[in-house]
Chains A and B, each alone.
Chain A
Amino acid sequence: MKGSITLAGESTASAEELKSARLGTRFGRLDLCSQLAVLAVEKLGIDFASLPKDRIGICLAVKAGSLATDIEYWKGRDSVGGPSPSLFAYTLPSSALGEIAIRHRITGPGLCLFGDEDCLVEEAKRLIAEGEADGCICVSCKVITPEVAEMLLIAPRVVARAMFLASKMQPIAGDKA
Chain B
Amino acid sequence: MQRSDCRMWSSVRGGEGLQSLASAIEQNHTGLRALARFEGNRFQSRVAGAVPEKILDPEDDDPAYALANIALREAQESARAALSDVDPKRIGLVLSTTKANVEALERLMAGGRCSEKARRHLEGDLLAADLAAECAAAGPVRCVSAACVSGLIALQQGARLIRSGDADAVIVVGVDHLSAFVATGFSALKALDPEGCRPFDRDRRGLSPGEAGAAIILARSSSPAPGMVYLRGWASTNDANHMTGPSRDGSGLAAAITGALNRAGVESDHVDYINAHGTGTPYNDAMESMALRTVFGSNCPPVSGSKGMLGHTLGAAGVVETILCVIAMQTGILPGTPRLTAPAEGTPASLLLEPRSASQSRYVLKLNTGFGGINGAVVLGLSS
A residues lining the B interface (CB < 8 Å)? 53-54, 58, 62, 64-65, 67, 70-71, 73-75, 77, 82-85, 88-95, 97-99, 101-102, 104-116, 119, 123, 126-127, 129-130, 132, 151-153
Q: How far is the CB of B157 from chain A (nearest CB, A)?
A: 7
Q: Roughly how many angstroms separate A93 CA and B243 CA in the complex, as a whole number?
A: 13
Please choose the segment from B14-22, B184-192, B273-281 that sits at the chain A interface, where 4 or more of its residues have CB less than 8 A away.
B184-192
| B residues 245-276 in Cβ contact with A at 8 Å | 252, 255, 259
Tell me which of A62, A67, A129 contacts B122 (CB under 8 A): A67
Report whether B109 and A109 are in contact in the complex, using a CB–CB cutoff of 8 Å.
no
By beta carbon, the residue of chain A nearest B256 is A109
Report whether B105 and A98 are in contact in the complex, using a CB–CB cutoff of 8 Å.
no
Contacts of B98 in A (CB 8 A): 92-93
Tell me which of A64, A97, A108, A129 contacts B237 (CB under 8 A): A108
Q: How far is the CB of A94 from chain B (nearest CB, A)?
A: 5
Contacts of B164 in A (CB 8 A): 126, 129
Contacts of A84 in B (CB 8 A): 188
| B144 interface contact, C-beta 8 A | yes
Q: Roughly how many angstroms separate A113 CA and B244 CA in the complex, as a whole number?
A: 20
Tell me which of A77, A98, A114 contacts B374 (CB under 8 A): A98
Q: How far is the CB of B245 from chain A (nearest CB, A)?
A: 10
Tell me which of B105, B244, B259, B372 contacts A97 (CB under 8 A): B372
Q: How far is the CB of A92 from chain B (nearest CB, A)?
A: 5
B residues lining the A interface (CB < 8 Å)? 42, 97-100, 102, 105-106, 108-109, 119, 122-125, 128, 140, 142-147, 153, 157, 160-161, 163-164, 181, 184-190, 235-244, 252, 255, 259, 370-374
- Nearest first, the 8 A-B pairs at minimum CB distance are A98-B372, A115-B125, A114-B124, A88-B185, A101-B238, A114-B145, A85-B188, A93-B145
Q: How far is the CB of B20 from chain A (nearest CB, A)?
A: 32
Report whether B105 and A70 are in contact in the complex, using a CB–CB cutoff of 8 Å.
yes
Contacts of A115 in B (CB 8 A): 123-125, 128, 142-143
Q: Roughly how many angstroms separate A73 CA and B188 CA in the complex, as a whole number?
A: 11
Q: State the majority secondary structure of interface residues on A.
A: mixed
Q: Roughly how many angstroms separate A73 CA and B125 CA in the complex, as a whole number?
A: 22
Contacts of B128 in A (CB 8 A): 115
Report whether A101 and B144 are in contact in the complex, using a CB–CB cutoff of 8 Å.
no
Do A107 and B238 form a contact, CB below 8 Å, given A85-B189, A97-B374, A98-B373?
yes
Contacts of B124 in A (CB 8 A): 65, 93, 114-115
Tell me which of A98, A104, A152 contacts B371 (CB under 8 A): A98
Tell me which of B144, B186, B373 contacts A114 (CB under 8 A): B144
Tell me which of B97, B185, B238, B259 contacts A106 (CB under 8 A): B238
Tell me which of B145, B237, B252 contacts A112 (CB under 8 A): B145
Report whether B188 and A98 are in contact in the complex, using a CB–CB cutoff of 8 Å.
no
Report whether A126 and B160 are in contact in the complex, using a CB–CB cutoff of 8 Å.
yes
18 A-B residue pairs with CB within 8 Å? A54-B255, A65-B123, A73-B185, A88-B188, A88-B189, A91-B181, A92-B371, A94-B146, A94-B147, A101-B374, A104-B240, A107-B238, A111-B144, A112-B153, A113-B125, A115-B124, A115-B128, A130-B160
> Which of A53, A110, A152 neighbours the largest number of chain B CB atoms within 10 Å of its CB?
A110
Tell me which of A82, A108, A116 contacts B42 (CB under 8 A): A82
Q: Roughly how many angstroms separate A28 CA and B160 CA in the complex, as a whole number?
A: 37
Report whether B184 and A111 are in contact in the complex, using a CB–CB cutoff of 8 Å.
no
Q: How far is the CB of B167 from chain A (nearest CB, A)?
A: 12
Report whether B240 and A101 are in contact in the complex, using a CB–CB cutoff of 8 Å.
yes
Report whether B243 and A102 are in contact in the complex, using a CB–CB cutoff of 8 Å.
yes
Q: How far is the CB of B45 from chain A (nearest CB, A)?
A: 15
Q: Roughly how many angstroms separate A29 CA and B235 CA in the complex, as a whole number?
A: 30
Contacts of B236 in A (CB 8 A): 109-111, 132
Tell me which of B109, B142, B181 contacts A119 (CB under 8 A): B142
Report whether B145 and A94 are in contact in the complex, using a CB–CB cutoff of 8 Å.
yes
Report whether A101 and B373 are in contact in the complex, using a CB–CB cutoff of 8 Å.
yes
Contacts of A58 in B (CB 8 A): 238
Q: Roughly how many angstroms separate A157 CA and B100 CA in the complex, as a whole number?
A: 21
Tell me which of B119, B140, B157 contacts A111 (CB under 8 A): B157
Q: How far is the CB of B158 from chain A (nearest CB, A)?
A: 11
Report whether B143 and A151 are in contact in the complex, using a CB–CB cutoff of 8 Å.
no
Q: How far is the CB of A142 from chain B (nearest CB, A)?
A: 12
Tell me which of B153, B187, B190, B372 contacts A95 (CB under 8 A): B372
Q: Roughly how many angstroms separate A104 CA and B102 CA in the complex, as a whole number?
A: 32
Do A113 and B144 form a contact, CB below 8 Å, given A67-B122, A74-B181?
yes
Contacts of A97 in B (CB 8 A): 146, 238, 372, 374
> Which of A88, A98, A105 neighbours the largest number of chain B CB atoms within 10 Å of its CB?
A98
Do A109 and B237 form a contact, CB below 8 Å, given A99-B243, A116-B125?
yes
Report whether A114 and B143 are in contact in the complex, using a CB–CB cutoff of 8 Å.
yes
By beta carbon, the residue of chain B nearest A85 is B188
